[in-house]
Chains A and B, each alone.
Chain A
Amino acid sequence: MLSSKAFDDYIIPLEQWIEGGVSWLVENFRPQFQAIKWPVEVTLNGIDSLLQMIPPILFLIVLGIIAWRAAGWKVALFGILTLTLVGFLGLWEDTMTTLAMVICAVVFCVIVGIPLGIYASRSNRFESMLRPVLDAMQTTPAFVYLVPVVMLFSIGTVAGVIATIIFAMPPIIRLTNLGIRQVQADVVEASEAFGATKSQILWKVQFPLALPTIMAGLNQTMMLSLSMVVIAALIGAGGLGVPVFEGLNSLRVGLAGIGGISIVLLAMVLDRITQALGTSKHLERNESS
């Protein structure tokens, strides 16, 4: 009894502080946050309407070709069969929306994350500042992101994608940094000895050699976005999260079930394809050309 009272005298008002901080941001910077939303919205709508517009057959063919080029015919066949199954589950449109959200999130993660990773690889100070931030981003439970995102960006699919971008960004930053730092010191030194500038060293040596690692980061980022995109249904985002969420609310276990199965299948297809991009296949293709 006594022990539970021990903290009653004083409670750190962190809750109020956070509230105050976020409210202050909302009051003073709402236009700026809306401006951030704009490019995400445009990109997302573009990808989504493209995916919704093209006939499923055409989509399956294109997917098959991409998977075949990147990962071989087995993955291509697997992808086509899997997504056909998803179509027959009646979730084609939701799947396309989810895919659009994932692609959009990954695009922004790449645009922001790779430059940050490159910068971190060149500056030990920046890396040591970035590290705790990334740790925090990766360990913060996905749900916790949602509240400030709603306050700053309101609800809906775009807000969901923004939450996803933040949540899925760390791996690509980390692995870009790691990949570049792992490039053998002697080849960098050799480039310098032949008079290469810093940007020549980056683009002709470090980046190509770090590419398999960066691709592994891309794969992780993609998987994280897929999981977050589903959670984002909680704040009104569309896609495969919706049947899961509805099934949960109304205890329709079948609806939640097919939603869940579709997510897993989509995840497997995306994982196979991006993994193949990152590992040996990529280099082997380089070699035989």
Chain B
Amino acid sequence: MPQEKVIVSGLFKIFGPNPDRAFKLIDAGKEKDAIFKETGLTVGVQDAEFSINAGEIFVVMGLSGSGKSTLVRMLNRLIEPTAGTVLIDGEDVTAMAPNHLRELRRHSMSMVFQSFALMPHLTVVQNAAFGLEISGINKAERQKRALDALDQVGLKDWARSYPRELSGGMQQRVGLARALAQDPSIMLMDEAFSALDPLIRSEMQDELLKLQDQHERTVVFISHDLHEAMRIGDRIAIMEGGRIVQVGTPDDILNNPADRYVSSFFRGVDPTTVFSVGDVARKSQLTLRWHKGEGFPTAALEQMRQEDRDYAYVLNRHQKFLGVVSSDTLDEAIERNERNLDGALLDNIEPVSAETPLQEILSEVRKYECPVPVINDEGQYMGVISKRTFLRTLEHGAQ
């Protein structure tokens, strides 16, 4: 049983004076738009009920205006909840006295913003040390911890620059370092990567996953991007009009969307039910022919280097799929002086049949480090499905 770090129950935010008027209408089953028309009150978040496990990346997804930012800001009370409770490590945040709440913000939760929100008048290292300065830590120590945090995001050399001299991606790394320097157990990230262009964005996602490997934190990550949610989320909550309509693992949400709104994130029709694996498999990977020839691992490695590949798919004379090798396993095989590829094959890679519906291979796509190999009835290699192909198909259908 995973430990529950954050427990949210009955959480509401109504914007505007006399929110009681809205509660009556909510009880009467009225929707956000109707309530706004009648009373001028905006329902930001309506009756949120969920918990977040320690160490997981919890993604909140939803369209613009669905209440994601409001929800996450109620966790550290940047926005004051209208009703409900937020328990963090068993303590009710909504009932905390102001100084207690500040301590929580200083030591346990830090936040990363879509707009970066760096201080333009401070250097990179001063920015990274900002939270530490606020909590009254002495200069020597905060300098050390800030440089440490900058090192973690690869920006140590830029410590003395000013934010405006950095690219967007680098600025957000500073934002990340500022949050990490606090060594928080919870990180709140409000569309932290949305302002970055796609390449930098996936780089930052990898960075986050890497940081998560080194030190498991509880991350609440807001996103409106399916790719991002699938890539980094352990669990995903989907919001619509202030309500949380579904919480689940990526597999759950993909396979059993709670309603049409949820499935509309996959552009209306769910292509995974329409396409089979064989429809989208591509022969984009390097293949090697298995034989007993001497020095074969060395030759294989050389070929992979030349084509700049990390993986190669090993087939026999009849195109039958035998396994996958990586440059790392080949290196090891060479060290062990092996003469064929048997010892270099990756464990746990099972090919999937071309007839399998696409939706059923999500767990393989997520789990395998390399693209998933696809075979036909005779066991012959048909190509692969990479994470990228898989997600693109979800969004756009097969080309």
Q: B119 touching A193 by the CB < 8 A rule?
A: no
Q: B117 touching A283 by the CB < 8 A rule?
A: no
CA gap between A286 and B123 in the complex, in Å? 10
Which residues in window 165-204 of A have CB below 8 A to B?
Answer: 184, 186-187, 189-197, 200, 204
Q: A194 touching B117 by the CB < 8 A rule?
A: no
Q: A194 touching B182 by the CB < 8 A rule?
A: yes
Q: A190 touching B113 by the CB < 8 A rule?
A: yes
Q: B133 touching A186 by the CB < 8 A rule?
A: no
| Residues of A with C-beta under 8 A to B131 | 194-195
| Residues of A with C-beta under 8 A to B102 | 195-197
Flag whether A22 is at the interface (Cβ < 8 A). Answer: no
Flag whether A25 is at the interface (Cβ < 8 A). Answer: no
| Residues of A with C-beta under 8 A to B133 | 204
| Residues of A with C-beta under 8 A to B130 | 191, 194
Q: A190 touching B117 by the CB < 8 A rule?
A: yes
Which residues in window 92-110 of B have CB below 8 A to A?
Answer: 102-107, 110
Flag whether B293 is at the interface (Cβ < 8 A). Answer: no
Q: How far is the CB of B143 from chain A (nearest CB, A)?
A: 16
> Interface residues of A: mostly helix, strand, loop or mixed?
helix
Q: B111 touching A193 by the CB < 8 A rule?
A: yes
Q: How far is the CB of A207 from chain B (nearest CB, A)?
A: 10
Q: How far is the CB of B370 from chain A (nearest CB, A)?
A: 40
Residues of B within 8 A of A (CB): 76, 78, 102-107, 110-111, 113, 115, 117-121, 130-131, 133-135, 162, 178, 182, 188
CA gap between A192 and B80 in the complex, in Å? 13
- 20 chain-A/chain-B pairs, Cβ below 8 angstroms: A186-B113, A186-B117, A189-B113, A191-B130, A192-B78, A193-B78, A193-B110, A193-B188, A194-B111, A194-B130, A194-B134, A194-B178, A194-B182, A195-B105, A196-B134, A204-B133, A208-B121, A283-B121, A286-B121, A287-B162
Partner of B78 from A189, A197, A283 at Cβ < 8 Å: A189
Q: How far is the CB of B106 from chain A (nearest CB, A)?
A: 4
Partner of B134 from A189, A191, A208, A209 at Cβ < 8 Å: A191
Flag whether A205 is at the interface (Cβ < 8 A). Answer: yes
CA gap between A287 and B163 in the complex, in Å? 11
Q: Nearest CB to that of A193 among chain B residues?
A: B111
Task: Mark interface residues in A255-289 (1 if CB within 8 Å of B CB, else 0).
Answer: 00000000000000000000000000001001100
CA gap between A193 and B130 in the complex, in Å? 11
Q: In the complex where A193-B110, A195-B135 touch, is A187 in contact with B105 (Cβ < 8 A)?
A: no
Closest 3 CB pairs of A and B: A195-B106, A195-B105, A190-B117
Most chain B CB within 10 A, of A186, A193, A205, is at A193
